[in-house]
């Protein structure tokens, strides 16, 4: 099951604001969420963050029974998601800079009106979507740090399937 939400929030990479509007997708069958920076800031085109294992139910479990409750998760591993930037050239070329997410933490705070979420994380070194002469990748891209905050209104959570 996939659900999509358009949200106000903040998407920061290495301390710089990337977007103030986000698209959030839950892929419950795959236990994955996707956060995409909407094009509110120049250069945000194609910036996408995937995190797994993470589901809507991990964020909202017991949500409305105790409205002051919060949940915290910290997940790390060799590959718990990815951060992608692209397409870099012509959209049909398929050139993306990619980083593997190695750690992320989530804090979800529940209120009667919304679910407030903050996600912080880090990546390993990245791979450029461009090649040098001879088909070799360019030097590794430096690791990235990301921070995403958003609020998901209660009506959005209660109207969507679990």
Coil/strand/helix, residue 108: strand
Please write the tens of the pLDDT for every residue from 71-119.
788 999 999 999 988 777 666 667 888 999 999 999 888 887 888 899 9
What is the per-residue pLDDT for 160?
A: 46
Please give the Cα distance from 156 to 7 (Å, whole number). 11
C-alpha distances in Å from residue 112, one per residue of 14, 56, 144, 155: 32, 17, 34, 10
What is the per-residue pLDDT for 65?
A: 53
Specify the pTM: 0.82
Q: Is the pLDDT of residue 129 over 90?
A: no
Please give the Cα distance from 139 to 104 (Å, whole number). 25
Q: What is the largest CA-CA distance in the chain?
A: 60
What is the per-residue pLDDT for 62?
A: 52
What percentage of the chain carries pLDDT values higher than 70? 72
Q: How far is CA 40 from the centre of its chain?
A: 16
């Amino acid at each position: 099951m996939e659900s999509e939400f358009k949200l106000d929030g903040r998407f920061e990479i290495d301390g710089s604001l990337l977007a103030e509007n986000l698209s959030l997708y839950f892929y419950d069958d795959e236990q994955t969420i996707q956060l995409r920076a909407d094009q509110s800031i120049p250069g945000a085109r194609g910036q996408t963050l995937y995190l797994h294992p993470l589901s809507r139910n991990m964020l909202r479990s017991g949500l409305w029974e105790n409205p002051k409750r919060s949940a915290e998760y910290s997940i790390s591993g060799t590959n718990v998601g990815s951060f992608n930037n692209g397409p870099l050239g012509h959209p049909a070329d398929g050139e993306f800079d990619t980083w593997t997410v190695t750690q992320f933490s989530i804090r979800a705070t529940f209120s009667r009106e919304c679910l407030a979420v903050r996600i912080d994380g880090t990546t390993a070194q990245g791979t450029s979507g461009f090649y040098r002469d001879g088909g070799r990748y360019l030097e590794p891209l430096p690791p990235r740090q990301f921070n995403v905050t958003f609020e998901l209104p209660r009506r959005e959570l209660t109207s969507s399937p679990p």
